[in-house]
Structures are given as structure tokens and as C-alpha cells.
Amino acid sequence: MIDFSLPNETQMLVATVKRFVEKELNPLEDEIERTNAIDSGVADGLRRKAQELGLWAMHMPEEMGGGGLSTVEFCLVNEQIGHTKDVLARRAFGHVPSILVRCAGAQREKYLHAAMRGEIHVSVAMSEPEAGSDANGIRTTARRDGEGWILNGSKHFISDADVAGAYIVTAHCEEGISCFLVDRDTPGLELGRIQKMMGHRGTHHNGLFLINCRIGPEQLLGELGRGMSIVLGLINVARLAYVGARAVGMASKLLEMSIKFAQQRCQFGAPIGSFQMVQKMLADMQTEIYAAKVMVLNAAWEIDQGRDAREKVSMVKLFASEMLGRVADNAVQIFGGMGYCTELPIERYYRDARVFRLYDGTSEIHRIMIARSLLERGDVPL
Ligand SMILES: Cc1cc2nc3c(=O)[nH]c(=O)nc-3n(C[C@H](O)[C@H](O)[C@H](O)COP(=O)(O)OP(=O)(O)OC[C@H]3O[C@@H](n4cnc5c(N)ncnc54)[C@H](O)[C@@H]3O)c2cc1C
């Protein structure tokens, strides 16, 4: 029997996150959009409130001080978090990279536990000007220097690099690509300029330069030469929750606003919602949101069962991000000229939505991954 009902405690958690987003985060959005920044005192206050409610780092294991949510639960809360801006989600709920669970020895206190307490932010620095989709094509090198390494190379588009105290850097060494923890104040590490983006104002992305950057042996994260499998092994939950579930949340918010507008806005003496072409857009939006939501939860459930859900996660990433693009486009259309006007948030959502198809693997890369596993297997899975 398939049971889609949610336990009471899950419903209460989702309701708590929804209230937090509406009460604490939504009111801050216009100011952040205007200034492209969030005050650090405000950000700290949000984190403390979220920590008090048990809403900080909800995806991390309980024994490490996290919320210990299942993937299904984490996706459900991220659907609500999709109703607010990316930077507010990051500051309030914590983007502790899952890869920090691989910290060992003294790294655990310095990076993992400090990040779990909200004392340090750690950014993941993989992409380079010459290597985005081709993550194995990075040029950053880690050359042996006694027991430690000397890093050389450059990274770009690193989210939250300006607030990070340390970076997880991928680099080529003799044994293959490895991950290294590099502190912000390491001599030879320089923060590049903020790379201005189309949307997600308030979240900053910078380049990073590593120039003869010397690090000790204790900075290696995980096994030598296993960097890509460490990263890829932990990326599925992030793709589902931060892209799939948040796309569903953002699309739902756009639909809610579109329904209200269609009920209130009158043309030709009638609400535009009475016109069948507007109804078609609303119906298509709702249908696609529903499909994406079911896909997110099914893939999340597969992960919780310990199954290999990589192909499903790729389908979710592909469909949910493209669904959001279509929903945002329909919302602009329903709002007419006001949808294009900066007085209303619709145009902001339209811009914010665009990046979902680019990061965490572009649509093209996920199509390649889906097709590859279909052709390797030679059949269509249920
Ligand atoms: C807002 C934002 C935040 C980001 N945050 C981070 C971060 O925190 N850390 C980090 O490391 N990176 C980050 N990135 C980088 C992101 O992961 C890359 O932008 C993404 O992987 C795509 O790489 P690229 O931009 O170099 O595009 P490219 O790889 O150059 O791709 C360009 C185009 O070619 C297509 N293409 C490439 N290869 C193929 C192929 N084999 N077949 C068909 N089409 C192909 C792509 O789909 C795309 O359409 C961020 C990016 C953005 C925009």
C-alpha cells in the first residue's frame, strides 16, 4: 500500500518553517533586493532564532548537532524555504556543506562543529573559469611540500565566499583530485571581486585565487585522490532540497500570487481569471508544480531507503528547474505589464528562477546523465 500521509510531527515542523519564513524572512526581502546586502547583525539574529527553534542545519546528522531530518522531511521544509530569498535561507537555516561530515581528528572541532554552531561559514570552491560542467577538468594543483601541499589555481562563482572563514577547495594532486580545507587567512589565498549576477540579490559570489598557498597535512579532507567521489556522493540531497524542493516552493508562491491577481484584475468588465487562456496558464502551472513535487518526494524517499537515486535526482533537477522557468514566465504573462515592473516581486522571481537551470549541474548535463544510465541499463525503470 502506498501511504502519502505525513506524520503529525512532520506537519508541525513544516508549519513552523512556514511561519518563520512569513514572519521573520519575507519582511526583509525588499530591503535586501534594493541594497544587494544583508546586515550581519540581522543575519546573526536570524540564525540565533532559527537555532532556538531547532531549524539550523536541519539536514546534518543529530549526533553532529544537526536536525537529523530524513531527506523527505528536508525536502518538505525546503519547499517552504523556497518562498523566500536565497540569502535569507542561507543565513537563517545554515548552508553547512554536507561534505564536512568527512572531517576527521582536529578538523571536526575547527570546521564541522564550528559550522554547526554557526561560528564559521565554509564555502565549496570547485568551479573554475575553465572548468564548470567538466568538474574533472580543473587546473588548480596541489603540489607536495614536505608533509603538506602548495596550492595554485583560481576558482570562481564561489557562493558566500565573502562571508566564509574557510573553503573546501578541489585540486589535482598526484593521486587524483582531492579536497582541501583552506582557511580564509592562509597566506596566498586571495578573494576576488564579487561577480555580479542577474538575480538572487544579497547572495554574493566571488572568485578565489590560490597563489603558492601553503597548507599543512591536516588540511586534507577525506581520502587523497578521492575528492570527486566524496563531493558527488553527498550532492544528491542538496540537489533535491536546494534546487528541486525550493523550485517547487518558489513556483507555488508565484502561482498563489497569480491566482489572487487573476481574481482581482478586471479587463473587459470581468476578472482576467474568467478568461480561458488565463485559466489555461493557471492550470498548467499547478499541474507542473504537482508533478515536480511528487518527483522530489519520490526521489527523496528512495534516498531514505538507501537506494541509488542518482538518475531520479537528475530527472528532478532537470524537470523542477525547467518547470520553475515556465511557471515564472506564465506569472509574468498573467500580471501583464505589472509582471515586468520592479514595483512587484514577480520580475525578481523571474530573474531568480533562471539560475536553477544552471547551477548544481546544467539541464544539459543532467540530460546526459539520465540518457547515459538509460542506455547503460537498457530498460526503463519504474
Ligand atoms: C549563482 C551561481 C552560484 C554558484 N555557486 C557555486 C559554488 O558555490 N561553488 C562552485 O564551485 N561553483 C558554483 N557555481 C558554478 C556552477 O556550478 C557552474 O556555473 C555550473 O556547473 C556550470 O558551469 P559553467 O558556468 O562553467 O558552464 P559551462 O560548463 O561552460 O557550460 C556552458 C554551456 O555548455 C553546456 N555544456 C557543457 N558541457 C556540455 C556537454 N558535454 N554537452 C552538452 N552541453 C554542454 C552547458 O550545459 C551550458 O549550457 C555557481 C554558479 C552560479 C551561476
Q: What's the pLDDT score for residue 382?
A: 66
Total number of domains in the chain: 3
Residues 87 and 124 in one domain: no
State yes or no: pLDDT of 151 exceeds 70.
Answer: yes
Check pocket membership of 124 for ligand 1, CB cut-off 6 A: yes
CA 64 / ligand 1 centre spacing (Å):
31
Same domain, residue pair 247 and 361: yes
In a domain, residue 166? The reply is yes
* Within a domain: 333: yes
CB of 245 closer than 8 Å to CB of 301:
no
Q: Are residues 239 and 203 in the same domain?
A: no
The answer to whether residues 334 and 301 belong to one domain is yes
The candidate with the shortest Cα–Cα distance to 136, out of 71, 263, 201, 227, is: 227
- pLDDT category of residue 156 using cuts at 50, 70 and 90: very high
In this structure, are 240 and 370 located in the same domain?
yes
Based on the fold, state whether residues 74 and 145 are members of the same structural domain. no
CATH number at residue 366: 1.20.140.10
Mark whether 195 and 290 lie in a shared domain.
no
Domain assignment present for residue 113? The answer is: no
Pairing of strands 166-173, 122-125: parallel
> Across residues 70-86, what is the average pLDDT?
97
Q: Ligand 1 in contact with 282 (CB < 6 A)?
A: no
Three-state secondary structure of the chain: CCCCCCCHHHHHHHHHHHHHHHHHHHHHHHHHHHHCCCCHHHHHHHHHHHHHCCCCCCCCCHHHCCCCCCHHHHHHHHHHHCCCCHHHHHHHHCCCCHHHHHCCCCHHHHHHHHHHCCCCCEEEECCECCECCCHHHCCCEEEEECCEEEEEEEEEEEECCCCCCEEEEEEEECCEEEEEEEECCCCCEEEEEECCCCCCCCCCEEEEEEEEEEECHHHEECCCCCHHHHHHHHHHHHHHHHHHHHHHHHHHHHHHHHHHHHHHCEECCEEHHHCHHHHHHHHHHHHHHHHHHHHHHHHHHHHHCCCCCHHHHHHHHHHHHHHHHHHHHHHHHHHHHHHHCCCCCHHHHHHHHHHHHCCCCCHHHHHHHHHHHHHHHCCCCC
CA 23, 29, 35, 37 torsion-angle sign: positive
Distance, CA of 81 to CA of 87 (rounded, Å): 11
Atom of ligand 1 lying closest to residue 124 CA: 9
**Per-residue pLDDT averaged across 238-257, rounded?**
97
Ligand 1 centroid to Cα of residue 128, in Å, is: 9
Q: Does ligand 1 come within 6 angstroms of the Cβ of 367? A: no
Report the pLDDT value the prediction gives residue 150, as an integer from 0 to 100: 98
Same domain, 128 and 81: no
Q: In terms of domains, do 242 and 150 share one?
A: no
Within a domain: 74: yes
Q: How high is the pLDDT of residue 232?
A: 87
- Listed residue (198, 250, 208) closest to 36, CA to CA: 198
Gap from CA of 134 to ligand 1 centroid (Å): 8
- Percent of the chain exceeding pLDDT 90 equals 96
Residue 234 lies inside a defined structural domain of this protein: yes
* Residue 179 belongs to domain spanning: 119-221
pLDDT tens-digit series, residues 340-351:
999 999 999 999
- Going by pLDDT thresholds of 50, 70 and 90, the confidence category of residue 3 is confident
**200 alpha carbon – ligand 1 mean position (Å):** 16
Domain boundary among 189, 221, 253: 221
Q: In this structure, what CATH number is given to the domain that contains residue 52? A: 1.10.540.10
Residues 89 and 129 in one domain: no
Nearest CA to ligand 1 atom 45: 364
Distance CA 83, CA 27 (A): 12
Residue 1: the pLDDT is 74
For ligand 1, atom 24, name the residue with the nearest CA. Answer: 132
If asked whether residues 240 and 273 sit together in one domain, one would say yes
| Ligand 1: centre distance to CA 235 (Å) | 15
Our answer on whether the CB atom of 159 is closer than 6 Å to any ligand 1 atom is yes
CA distance 51 to 58: 10
Percent of the chain predicted with pLDDT > 70: 100
The preferred substitution site among 36, 121, 128, 133 for testing ligand 1, maximizing ligand atoms within 8 Å of CB, is 133
Burial class (CB in 10 A: 0-12, 13-18, 19+), 269: exposed
d(CA 279, CA 256): 13
Q: Do residue 74 and residue 39 come from a single domain?
A: yes
What pLDDT, in 10s, does the model give residues 353-369?
Answer: 999 999 999 999 999 99
How far CA 343 is from CA of 300, 335, 339, 347, in Å, comes to: 37, 12, 9, 9
